[in-house]
Chains A and B, each alone.
Chain A
Amino acid sequence: MMTENIHTNTTNEPSTIDPVIVIKDLKKGFGDRVVLNGFSIELRRGESLVVLGKSGSGKSVLIKCIIGLMLPDSGTIEVLGKNIESLDHKHMDELRSHIGFLFQSNALYDSMTIRENLQFPMRRHLGRLTRQEVNSRIMETLTNVGLANTVDMLPSELSGGMQKRVALARALILNPQIILYDEPTTGLDPITAREISKLITDIQHKYSTSSIIISHDMNCVKQTADRVALLLNGVCYAIGTYNELLHSDDENIKQFFE
């Protein structure tokens, strides 16, 4: 018996709740390999939506399409009411200043100190701030991720968990409305992974952000998700709360929770 509240094989359902990201019928392939085959989803304001899927199922491709690092083959992506395909470079950069992105590999600039890493997005979008204001914003953000004492260190001097926190601080530095997390706990030990998951939920409340979290770490999913979307065979196969999916009888859903 399928749980009533789970929606499987979602189509383009209109939402009554203020959505910040609306994806409709997204298709993306590489050569003959189709990765996303009509994926549709909505991210509501203030919610934390986890996209769950197997490795290679197209989860990272999905958020790279949302941020404009990859172009979809077809379908529409609306972020904060703007269709990203219709935006030129200038407006895309403007839109990106409202989106934080946490890369799977952290993507910290290894030739720059932590301070310079955090300054980098600010020099484009907050160019009018004084040096003092910039420094105070950096210290405030680093304090929020618990790493105020690392400001003049290089990324290579930090542990994996600390690098993840710094990468999160960089994603937060512009006070974004939306944060996209690409496998935030991959490669971390279970304790650090739990700390990062807790940090994600703390950040969610403190900064009032809406988040899409790409993950296949079930502990992270359980800890962070308001809703979980299951990406299977290129489509959004099911969507619901963690508990709704956990108690589903559908074999395709059950395999993720066993």
Chain B
Amino acid sequence: MKLFAPIRSFLSETGSVARFVSRYFQEIFQPRYEVRQFIRQCFTIGYKSLPLIGITGFIMGLVLTMQLRPTLLSYGVVSKLPVMVSLAIVREIGPVISALIFAGKISSSMGAELGSMKVTEQIDAMEVSGTNPFKYLVVTRVLAATLMLPVLTVLSDAIGLYGSYLGVNIKDHTSLGLFFFEVFNTLHFGDVLPATIKTFFFGFAIGIIGCYKGYNSSKGTEGVGRAANSAVVISSVVVFIIDLLAVQITDVLGLN
């Protein structure tokens, strides 16, 4: 029945992803631990993504401030610019934009790298050499992505707020101290914590999807390209789905 083929394919893929995730949680707690490879991945995934995510955060903060100013001016509340921008950046724009940039950079590179290792038998060579390739390649990358994205998001938020401070100073004048006093006066525990927690889930989803696509790629170089491409597309969509769920959960918990 051709009609049901896409449904069957979707269910089969979902089952396969679930097995992959379950294997990740089994392997992560079992020795031996690939500590050196994990640190290397943290450096590659975290440190090397910082310039891109920092620039994006800076531009978002600056642009958001300049675009909000006329509206706030018309209501006579331009002094609330730091309040508006800080809430927007910390609660939503910082985590989501950082996650999307991260997905574009990291998920695609994981998909392409593991995919190419798969088709050139490097993953088999690892297994033959007595190394568990899943632990060495997948567990280290997913864990690094899960832990590095929250750090990158906090840094991106800080850079974005500095961009906003410069944006305010284009038309008005305020000191750095006063701007950040306003920002910290506005932000509460309930603004920062849920936004930070969801970035762990974003990081995990981006890492696991990138690795899954790469680790299961086939059909030569075409398969590698497809793995990289679908890793970015699916992880970007999943970031929005997690964001949608996170806002519902924080709403139920009264944190909005």
Contact = CB atoms under 8 A, between A and B. Distances in A.
Given A105-B120, A107-B120, A93 B130 contact: yes
Contacts, number: 43
Chain A interface helix/strand/loop/mixed: mixed
Contact of A107 (B122, B130, B131, B132): B122
Contacts of A107: 120-122, 124-125
B130 A103 contact: no
B127 interface: yes
A124 B120 contact: no
A132 to B, nearest CB: 20
B115 to A, nearest CB: 13
Interface in A32-87: 64, 67, 69
B128 A101 contact: yes
A121 B129 contact: yes
Contact of B125 (A93, A101, A124): A101
B131 A109 contact: no
Nearest to A122: B129
Counting chain A CB atoms within 10 Å of each CB, which of B121, B126, B131 scores highest? B121
B121 A103 contact: yes
Contacts of A96: 128-130
Interface string B102-135: 0000000000000011001110111111111000
A105 B130 contact: no
B129 A103 contact: no
Contacts of A120: 126, 129, 131
Contacts of A108: 122, 125
A44 to B, nearest CB: 23
Nearest to A117: B125
Interface residues of A, number: 20
A105 B123 CA distance: 12
B128 A125 contact: no
A107 B118 CA distance: 9
A12 B130 CA distance: 31
Nearest to A99: B128
B128 A109 contact: no
Interface string A123-137: 011000000000000
B120 A97 contact: no
Contact of B128 (A67, A89, A104): A67
B131 A103 contact: no
Contacts of B127: 69
A189 interface: no
A121 to B, nearest CB: 4
Contacts of B120: 105, 107, 110
B122 A124 contact: no
Contact of A125 (B121, B125, B130): B130
B186 to A, nearest CB: 45
A64 B127 CA distance: 11
Contacts of A101: 125, 128
9 contacts: A89-B132, A96-B128, A103-B124, A103-B125, A107-B120, A108-B125, A110-B120, A120-B129, A121-B129
Q: Which 10 A-B pairs have CB atoms at the shortest separation, nearest pair first?
A: A107-B125, A124-B130, A121-B129, A107-B121, A93-B130, A103-B121, A101-B128, A107-B122, A105-B120, A105-B121
Given A69-B128, A107-B122, 11 more contacts: A93-B130, A96-B128, A97-B130, A101-B125, A101-B128, A105-B120, A105-B121, A107-B121, A108-B122, A108-B125, A109-B126
